[in-house]
């Protein structure tokens, strides 16, 4: 293996001083702890310089100036291939520390497959104002919770892709490297109804760290928790969610000195447990030019719910395989893109975007879909049965929420005064879905949730929050709103009466 260089003022890959910290105290602490982690600098292992490659054209990114609410203060870039299909799938790609959207787009190889298969790429970009090493703040609670900070900004980018580019909300995916990989875990846990699948490259499990100090332990040597404990962290990110969970692929180098390879096992434990599976692979094989070991864990109907790809003999970075072959991609002219295997090719296939995914079954679309009743929190649907159907898939707002054996079906846990669009598909005995029905829109009864935007002092005075130990907590949900003063402002949503949740940037 080539040696790594030691550079001055080291920092772990994703833990520079948190947003808003000042002074030398954090810098000194980080420097001391970095010595434990290893040879790292400015948020990333300094990879050995690879042989120079011929210059290649930069991927033509479009910066989106306004994409809606942006509580995390991120930038948004889009790669729209010339072959963009109608209602395209969306892949959100999250760069690593010290990188940019452009660097990630130019080197990771995803644009090669966007060109080939016609899907849209969305590149969120961190700023040095948020994080001095441009790492996504995967360890900061204010950026990793549903409806807050950077996670909410990325969610808004996905919504913008739907409205601006006609993207298919049922085919939305996310992947990322290092801190971007850890942020991929955040998005899958916080917004499971948005993402069909994700791929975590050299990243960490959701909920491993909640501050800069614990982040070091998560990175190396890694944190060992039971599968059920890891799974509970995911479920707690979106309490009450009952829909299907995203499928997850884990990519990790066997010689990663920055994020211990133990994290691949912890990620496997987390997501197999979320899917209700054990931790023994159902099948294993090797893929690519370097015999990467692939372990697959099968869900209902034989679908790969979780996959772990262990890349031999590489350190911390995105595996790429420069060239023009059908399974090649990427470039190695920048640190943390490692000549090995084109991970983007295999991730595209895992997402089902390469045209080789199983095709839907031949069952016809159910007819007669109708909403036959509604309450403040539920909608009841019925439809005409399909001959030979073993069950049905019910979709709410483009996301599959249930697979009942037969109609009718009641969708529960909804908010009063809300409106939702439904469709239904028949499933054969193997679980393959046929064509979807026409859509029907239905509304719950009652009044829509009420929202208030005010500072924490005003929220407490109005009875929407309480204060304890100098901090403010939303009534009902108990969410920590920050310091009890007039300088911290939040939007609170009340639903049901007397129950408040933080809804910054998401409340209608």
Higher pLDDT, 438 or 191: 191
Give residue 3's pLDDT. Answer: 31
Q: Is 356 helix (H, G, I), strand (E, B) or coil?
A: coil
Are 460 and 443 a contacting pair, CB within 8 Å?
no
Give residue 301's pLDDT. Answer: 66
Domains of the chain: 62-350 (3.40.50.1820), 370-443 (2.60.40.10), 450-502 (no CATH)
Average pLDDT, the chain: 86
pLDDT tens by residue, 133-156: 999 999 999 999 999 999 999 999
Higher pLDDT, 80 or 23: 80
Instruction: Give yes or no for residue 36 having a pLDDT over 60.
Output: no
Higher pLDDT, 44 or 183: 183
pLDDT tens by residue, 72-102: 999 999 999 999 999 999 999 999 999 999 9
Express as a percent the part of the chain with pLDDT over 70. 87
Lowest mean pLDDT among 154-158, 203-207, 359-363: 359-363
Higher pLDDT, 419 or 48: 419
Instruction: Give yes or no for residue 20 having a pLDDT over 50.
Output: no
Are 249 and 345 a contacting pair, CB within 8 Å?
no
Cα 413 to Cα 376: distance, rounded to the nearest angstrom: 9
pLDDT band at 55 (very low <50, low <70, confident <90, very high): very low
Give residue 494's pLDDT. Answer: 84
Give residue 22's pLDDT. Answer: 31
Here the contacts of 77-80 (C-beta below 8 Å, separation 24 or greater) are: 77/101, 77/102, 77/105, 77/122, 77/123, 77/124, 77/125, 78/120, 78/121, 78/122, 78/123, 78/161, 78/165, 79/105, 79/111, 79/114, 79/120, 79/121, 79/123, 80/120, 80/165
Give residue 13's pLDDT. Answer: 55
pLDDT band at 296 (very low <50, low <70, confident <90, very high): very high
What does the pLDDT average to over 210-222?
Answer: 94
pLDDT tens by residue, 242-260: 989 999 999 999 999 999 9
pLDDT band at 508 (very low <50, low <70, confident <90, very high): low
Higher pLDDT, 430 or 421: 421
Instruction: Give yes or no for residue 21 having a pLDDT over 90.
Output: no
What does the pLDDT average to over 272-298?
Answer: 93
What does the pLDDT average to over 109-130?
Answer: 97
Instruction: Give yes or no for residue 239 having a pLDDT over 90.
Output: yes
pLDDT tens by residue, 152-196: 999 999 999 999 999 999 999 999 999 999 999 999 999 999 999
pLDDT band at 57 (very low <50, low <70, confident <90, very high): low
Instruction: Give yes or no for residue 18 having a pLDDT over 70.
Output: no
Q: Is 355 helix (H, G, I), strand (E, B) or coil?
A: coil
pLDDT band at 15 (very low <50, low <70, confident <90, very high): very low
The residues annotated with a catalytic role in the active site are 178
pLDDT band at 360 (very low <50, low <70, confident <90, very high): very low
Cα 47 to Cα 411: distance, rounded to the nearest angstrom: 51
Are 491 and 503 a contacting pair, CB within 8 Å?
yes
pLDDT band at 56 (very low <50, low <70, confident <90, very high): low
């Amino acid at each position: 293996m080539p040696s790594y260089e030691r550079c001055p003022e080291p920092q772990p890959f994703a833990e520079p001083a948190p947003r808003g910290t000042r002074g030398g105290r954090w810098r000194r602490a980080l420097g001391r702890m970095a010595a434990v982690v290893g040879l790292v600098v400015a948020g990333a292992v300094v990879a050995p310089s690879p042989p120079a490659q011929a210059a290649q054209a930069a991927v033509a990114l479009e910066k989106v100036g306004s994409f809606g609410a942006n509580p995390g203060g991120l930038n948004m870039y889009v790669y729209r291939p010339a072959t963009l299909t109608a209602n395209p799938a969306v892949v959100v790609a999250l760069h690593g520390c010290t990188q940019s959207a452009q660097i990630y787009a130019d080197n990771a190889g995803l644009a090669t497959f966007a060109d080939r298969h016609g899907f849209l790429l969305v590149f969120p970009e961190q700023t040095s104002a948020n994080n001095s090493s441009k790492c996504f703040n995967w360890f900061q609670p204010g950026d990793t919770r549903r409806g807050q900070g950077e996670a909410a900004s990325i969610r808004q980018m996905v919504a913008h892709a739907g409205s601006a580019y006609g993207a298919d909300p049922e085919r939305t995916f996310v992947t990322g490297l290092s801190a971007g990989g850890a942020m991929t875990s955040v998005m899958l846990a916080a917004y499971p109804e948005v993402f069909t699948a994700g791929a975590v490259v050299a990243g960490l499990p959701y909920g491993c760290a909640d501050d800069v100090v614990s982040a070091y332990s998560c990175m190396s040597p890694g944190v060992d928790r039971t599968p059920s404990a890891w799974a509970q962290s995911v479920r707690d990110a979106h309490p009450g969610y009952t829909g299907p969970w995203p499928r997850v692929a884990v990519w990790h180098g066997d010689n990663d000195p920055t994020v211990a390879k133990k994290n691949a096992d912890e990620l496997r434990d987390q997501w197999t447990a979320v899917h209700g599976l054990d931790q023994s692979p159902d099948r294993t094989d090797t893929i690519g030019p370097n015999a990467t070991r692939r372990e697959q864990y099968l869900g209902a109907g034989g679908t790969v719910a979780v996959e772990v790809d262990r890349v031999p003999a590489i350190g911390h970075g995105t595996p790429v395989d420069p060239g023009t072959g059908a399974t090649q991609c990427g470039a190695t002219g920048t640190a943390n893109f490692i000549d090995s295997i084109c991970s983007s090719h295999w991730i595209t296939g895992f997402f089902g975007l390469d045209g080789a995914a199983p095709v839907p079954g031949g069952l016809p679309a159910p007819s007669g879909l109708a909403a036959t009743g509604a309450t403040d929190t539920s909608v009841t649907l019925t439809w005409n049965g399909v001959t030979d159907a073993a069950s049905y898939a019910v979709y709410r707002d483009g996301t599959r929420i249930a697979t009942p054996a037969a109609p009718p079906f009641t969708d529960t846990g909804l908010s009063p005064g809300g409106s939702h669009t439904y469709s239904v598909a028949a499933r054969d005995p193997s679980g393959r879905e046929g064509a979807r029905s026409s859509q029907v829109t239905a509304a719950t009864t009652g009044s829509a949730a009420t929202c208030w935007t005010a500072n924490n002092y005003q929220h407490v005075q109005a009875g929407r929050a309480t204060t304890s130990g100098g901090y403010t907590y939303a009534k009902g949900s108990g969410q920590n709103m920050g310091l009890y003063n007039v300088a911290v402002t939040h939007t609170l949503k009340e639903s049901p009466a007397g129950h408040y949740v933080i809804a910054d940037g998401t409340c209608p």
